[in-house]
Structure 1
Amino acid sequence: MSLVAHVQGLRVEIGGRVIVDGVSLEVNAGKVTALIGPSGSGKTTTGLALLGEYPPGARVEGTVRTTGGLVGYVPQHPAAALNPARRVGALLRDIAARQGGGRGEIRQRVEQALHLAQIPDPAAVLRRFPHQLSGGQQQRVVLTQALLQGARVIVADEPTTGQDVLTKQGVVAELAAVARQGIAIVLLSHDLDVVRELADEVVVMREGRVVDRGSISSIPLDFAQEVPRAARAARPQGPVRLEAKGLTAKHRTARGAVDVLSRIGVSVAVGECLALVGRSGSGKTTLGRCLAGLHSAYDGTVLLDGSPLPRSLRSRSRDQLAAVQYVFQDAKASFDERRPVLDQVARSAVRLRGADGPDARGAAVRTLEELGLNACLAERRPGGLSGGELQRAALARALLAEPRVLICDEITSGLDPVTRHAILEVLARLRERTDLSLVFITHDLATAGMLADRMAVLDAGRVVEEGPAQRLITEPWHAFTRALLGAVAQPARPRQ
C-alpha cells in the first residue's frame, strides 16, 4: 500500500478544552478510511488537520504529513465552498485553466472530472449558480473542484448529510469511483450504512480519542443505536395555523426562470407536526423557505391563522417574524463567528419580543439547558462548539421568539443517531406542552415518523402523496414513496 497521509499524536486544544487527544492515523492511496463517532468526538477536527486547518486560537501538538499532492475537502455544507456570484461552469473552467492548455484541453479536463464525480445532466449544472443546485449537486461540484486541482486525498465530511436514501446510493457510487482512481478517501460520518458500503478501515472516536479501529465487522458500534422506524399515531387535528395555497416557486437562471415548486397546497394545524419529505432537489427546502419568507420569488398565498403573510421576510412585521421561525440545516453558518453563542441566542428575545437584556439572557440560559447545552459552553464563540451543540443553540434561539410555527430544515441530518434521537425527543416534549406547530423538513421517512402527525412527500416540485404519517410508512400509495421506503429497507453491504 502507498501511504499518502500520516497523523501521529495529534492533540488540539481550544481555550483549555481538549478537542482531539493523541490521535494517530494512516491514509493509503485508493483506500477509504472512515472516522466515526458521536457529535463532538473530534472527527472533523482530525479531518481538517490533514488540510493544515485548525480552529482559531487552537494549540496543536503532534505531526501531520501528506505526500504526493493536494488534500481536497468536501464539507458537510458544500455551498460554503462555492462562489455564489459565479456560475458553476466558470468556476470549474478557471480551476482547469491553471494547468495550462487550450480551450479544448480545459473543456476535456472539466468533462472528465464531472464524469468521475458522477454529476447527472452536467450541461444544466454548468449553467447554474450554486444556490440553484440541490445539496447533492453542490457536493458533487465541490468534489469536481478538488479533482480538477489534482487532489490525491479527499476528506469527505458527512457527505450524506441531508440526502435521501436514493441520493445516498449515488454518493456511495461517486466516492467508490474516486477511490478506484487511486485517490484516498477520508470519510467523516455517522451514517453507518454508508460506512459499511465504503470503508476499508474504520476508526472510532469518542471525546477526542481513538477508542477502536479495524474493519466494520470487527468493532462495536454501540454509540450508533438507530432511531426506531415506527411511526407515531397522529394527534387530533385542530384549526389550521399555517397554510400554503397554489404556491409555485421559481429560481432564476441564465435562460430565464425555472419552476421548482408547482401549485403546492399544504397546511399545518395548531399543535401539529407536518413532515415535508423527499429526495435532494425535490423542492422541500424551497417550500419551507417560502413559508418563512426567505424565498420571495413565488406565486400563490401563505396564510398564518387565516391572514396572508408578506412574501419577503423584510416586509413582515415583528410579530409575524416572531410567529414563524426557521432553524437552518447548517447551524454553524447561521451564527456570527465573532460573538459568543449565548449572546446571539438571547438577542432573539430582545429583537423579536422586546425583552430587556438580563431577562433575555436568563431565558436563553434556561432554554439552552433544557435542550441539553451547558451555559458555560454557550459562552464560547461558535467555533468552540460541536455541530450537535450548535444545532441545539440554533433551536434555542428560535424558541426564544416564542413562535407559533417552527420550521426545522434537516436539523437532525448532520447528527449522530444518539444526538438526533435526543433532539427529536426535545421537539416532541415541546409540542406536548405547547400548541407549537412544527414543519419538519427531512429526507428520512423513519425520522419523520417519530415526530410527524402527517407527511407530505415531494418529488420534482410537486406533492405526490400526503396523509397520516403512520399510514404513509406502513401503506404508501404512490410509487415514489414506496421507492423511498424500499431504499431504506435495503441492508447495506459491507465493502469487500
Structure 2
Amino acid sequence: MIDVIDLRAGPILHGVSFHLPAGQVLALVGGSGSGKTTTGLALLGEHPPGVEVTGTVRVAGHPVGPGRPPAPGTVGFVPQHPSAVLNPVRRIGAVLREIAARHGTSVEPALRRASLPADRAFLRRYPHQLSGGQQQRLVVAQALLGEPSVIVADEPTTGQDPLTRDEVVGELAKLVRQGISIVLLSHDLDVVRALADHVVVLREGRVVEAGPAASVLDEPRDDYTRSLVAARPRLDEATERDLAPAARLEVTDLVARHGGRVALHGVSLRAAAGECLAVVGRSGSGKTTLARCLAGLHTPDSGSVRLDGRALAPSLRRRSRADLAAVQYVFQDARASFDPHGTVLDQVSRTAVRLRGMSPGQATAAALETLAEVDLPPGTARRRPGELSGGELQRAALARALLAEPDVLICDEITSGLDTLTQATVLDHLRRLARRRGLTLVVISHDLGVVARLADHVAVVADGRLADHGPAAQVLRRTVLTAREEEPQP
C-alpha cells in the first residue's frame, strides 16, 4: 500500500496525493517534465539533486523520505532503459546470485516469475546477448529478488516492438495477480489502458485529473487530459503517396554482420528529398543495423550507400566533414548521447562549430534558435542533461542533429519516450522540415501510429531481409493483417 500526501518538491511538484492498495496498478501520465519521475523517485526515498521534498510518503505502512529509504527489497525499480542497470561486462548469473545473496532469496524463482529460463546456458550470457524483451524481463527479475511489495516501472515498454511490448505488459499483469502493486510511469496510453486500475494525470507538477483508468481515458473531464488522448497517432492517418522518381538516398544490396551472424541480407531501398522512409520490424530484425550502416556507424560487408548519386564511405572515420553533416543520427537513448557534465546548450552548439565552421558565439545563437523550434527555452537549455526529463533530452538531441543542416536525418525510436502532445509536435515539426528543407527522413519505429502519421513509404525488415516495401498506407494494411494472423489464439 502506498500513500503520497501533499508531496512538494520545490517548484517541481505541488501537492500530489494518491493512494494505491496492494495488487493494483496506478499509472502516472503527463507531459515530459510534469513530475512523473520525481514522484516515482519519492517512493524510493530519493529526489533529484537540489530538491527539497516535504509531505508524507508511506510504502507498505512505513514512512519513506530523503535519508529514510524503504526497507531493502520493499520497492523494486524497473527503469526505462535496461542498459541503465545491467552490467555489460558481467554474466547474468553472477549478478543475479550477488543480488540474491544480499536479500537471502533464490535466483531460479525470480527468473521463473519473470518468464525467463534458469538453465546454465542462459545464466552465462551477457546482457547484450539478450533481446530487448529479455533485457526488460531480466530487470524485472532483479527487482523480484528483493521480494518487493511495490514496483515502480518507468516507461517499461519504451522502444519495444508491439509483440515484445505485449509480452512485458503480460509479465507485469502477472505480478499484479501475485499481489504486487505497480506504479507505472508511461506515455503509452495503450499500455496504461491495458494495465492500470487508476490513472493520475500530471501537468507542470500538479494533478489535473485522477480516477479509475476507464473513466479518465474514455471520458476525460479536463481539457489537458482530452488533448493527451486525442493526440495519439492513428493508423488511419496514413495516406497514399507514390515514391518520387529521383532518389536522394539509395541503398543497394547491403550485407552486414554482427560477429559471425549475418544481420542484413542484400537490402536495397531508396528515398527522395522531402520524403520519409519508415523502417519497421521486430526487435533484432536488423532495423538499427541498417540505420547505423547509413550513418557510417557500422561498416557493411558489401553493398553501397549513395547520397545524390555519390557513394558515401562505408565507415564514419573516412567521411568528410560535409558528409558527416549530411547524414545525422538521433539515438533512442538520448541521455546516453550527452555528456552529463556539460550543459545541453554547449553540447548542441558544438555541432555548428565542428560541422558548419561557426564561431562559438554564432553557434550558441544558432543553437538557441533551433532549440526553440523544438520547444526548449534558453533556461532549460543551459542546464546539465541530468536536470532535464527524458522527453526534453530527446528534443535536445533532435535539435543537435538539425543544427548540422543535414540532407538525411535518421531517427531511431525518437518519439517512444514522449507524451502524445509532445510527440505530435515533434512529428509535425519533422514533417514540415522535410517538406521545407527537402530533408530525407529515415524513421525507425515500432509505433505504427507514428509511422502512419509521418511516413510516405514503409520498409518491413524481418530476420535481416526486406519483407515488404511500398507506399505507407498499403504496407501498413498488410502489416496489421499479418500481425493479427500471428496472434496466439485463445
Do both share a fold (TM > 0.5)?
yes
Rounded to whole Å, the distance in 2 between the matches of 1:248 and 1:236 is 24
AA matched with 2:48: P
Change over 3 Å in CA distance of 1:373–1:233 after alignment to 2: farther
Structure-to-structure mapping, 1:256-335, within 5 angstroms: 257-296=260-299, 298-335=301-338
- Structure 2 unaligned spans of 5+: 61-70
Rounded to whole Å, the distance in 2 between the matches of 1:400 and 1:371 is 12
Assess if the C-alpha contact under 8 Å between 2:243 and 2:457 holds in 1: no
1:227 maps to which residue?
233
1:146 maps to which residue?
143
**Aligned residue among 8, 11, 19 for 1:11:** 8
AA matched with 1:244: V
Structure-to-structure mapping, 1:283-432, within 5 angstroms: 283-296=286-299, 298-432=301-435
2:169 maps to which residue?
172
Assess if the C-alpha contact under 8 Å between 1:238 and 1:270 holds in 2: no
Deviations 1:249-300 (A, max 9, x none): 3334xxxx33333332223223221100122332212221222222347554
AA matched with 1:455: V
1:134 equivalenced with 2:145 (yes/no): no
The 3-state SS of whatever aligns with 1:260 is: strand
Deviations 1:44-83 (A, max 9, x none): 1111221122222222222333346432111111211111
Quote how far apart the aligned CAs of 1:174 are: 0.5
Rounded to whole Å, the distance in 1 between the matches of 2:119 and 2:367 is 46
- Structure 1 unaligned spans of 5+: 101-105, 489-496
Change over 3 Å in CA distance of 1:148–1:249 after alignment to 2: farther
**Aligned residue among 450, 455, 467 for 2:453:** 450
The 3-state SS of whatever aligns with 2:84 is: helix
Change over 3 Å in CA distance of 1:202–1:487 after alignment to 2: farther
AA matched with 2:353: V
AA matched with 2:356: R
Assess if the C-alpha contact under 8 Å between 1:132 and 1:251 holds in 2: no
1:204 maps to which residue?
201
Structure-to-structure mapping, 1:182-193, within 5 angstroms: 182-193=179-190
TM-score when normalising by structure 1: 0.87
2:79 maps to which residue?
75
Rounded to whole Å, the distance in 2 between the matches of 1:120 and 1:248 is 32
1:217 maps to which residue?
214
Assess if the C-alpha contact under 8 Å between 1:165 and 1:484 holds in 2: no
1:483 equivalenced with 2:473 (yes/no): no
Rounded to whole Å, the distance in 1 between the matches of 2:244 and 2:303 is 24
Assess if the C-alpha contact under 8 Å between 2:254 and 2:300 holds in 1: no
1:95 maps to which residue?
99
AA matched with 2:16: V
Assess if the C-alpha contact under 8 Å between 1:56 and 1:383 holds in 2: no
Change over 3 Å in CA distance of 1:344–1:353 after alignment to 2: same
Change over 3 Å in CA distance of 1:88–1:293 after alignment to 2: farther
2:250 maps to which residue?
243
The 3-state SS of whatever aligns with 2:376 is: coil
Change over 3 Å in CA distance of 1:486–1:433 after alignment to 2: farther
Assess if the C-alpha contact under 8 Å between 1:243 and 1:267 holds in 2: yes
Rounded to whole Å, the distance in 2 between the matches of 1:460 and 1:270 is 28
Change over 3 Å in CA distance of 1:116–1:273 after alignment to 2: same
Bigger shift: residues 154-163 or 22-31 = 22-31
The 3-state SS of whatever aligns with 2:41 is: helix
Change over 3 Å in CA distance of 1:114–1:259 after alignment to 2: farther
Superposition CA RMSD, Å: 2.5
1:103 maps to which residue?
none
Change over 3 Å in CA distance of 1:295–1:49 after alignment to 2: farther
Quote how far apart the aligned CAs of 1:235 are: 5.9
Rounded to whole Å, the distance in 2 between the matches of 1:125 and 1:392 is 37
AA matched with 1:206: R
Change over 3 Å in CA distance of 1:299–1:25 after alignment to 2: farther
Rounded to whole Å, the distance in 2 between the matches of 1:461 and 1:482 is 21
The 3-state SS of whatever aligns with 2:97 is: helix
AA matched with 1:26: H
2:191 maps to which residue?
194
Deviations 1:371-428 (A, max 9, x none): 2222222122223323222222111100111111100001111111111111000001
The 3-state SS of whatever aligns with 1:240 is: coil
Runs of 4+ in 1 over 6 A off after TM superposition: 120-124, 485-488
Assess if the C-alpha contact under 8 Å between 2:243 and 2:456 holds in 1: no
1:56 maps to which residue?
49
The 3-state SS of whatever aligns with 2:17 is: strand
Bigger shift: residues 410-419 or 232-241 = 232-241
Change over 3 Å in CA distance of 1:484–1:354 after alignment to 2: farther
1:493 maps to which residue?
none
Deviations 1:141-160 (A, max 9, x none): 11111112333221111112
Rounded to whole Å, the distance in 1 between the matches of 2:438 and 2:123 is 45
Change over 3 Å in CA distance of 1:446–1:19 after alignment to 2: same
Quote how far apart the aligned CAs of 1:137 are: 2.4
Assess if the C-alpha contact under 8 Å between 1:35 and 1:43 holds in 2: yes
The 3-state SS of whatever aligns with 2:255 is: strand
Assess if the C-alpha contact under 8 Å between 1:232 and 1:451 holds in 2: no
Assess if the C-alpha contact under 8 Å between 2:243 and 2:471 holds in 1: no
Change over 3 Å in CA distance of 1:127–1:259 after alignment to 2: farther
The 3-state SS of whatever aligns with 2:248 is: strand
The 3-state SS of whatever aligns with 1:398 is: helix
Bigger shift: residues 298-307 or 428-437 = 298-307
Deviations 1:86-109 (A, max 9, x none): 233333233234456xxxxx8xx3
Number of residue equivalences: 467
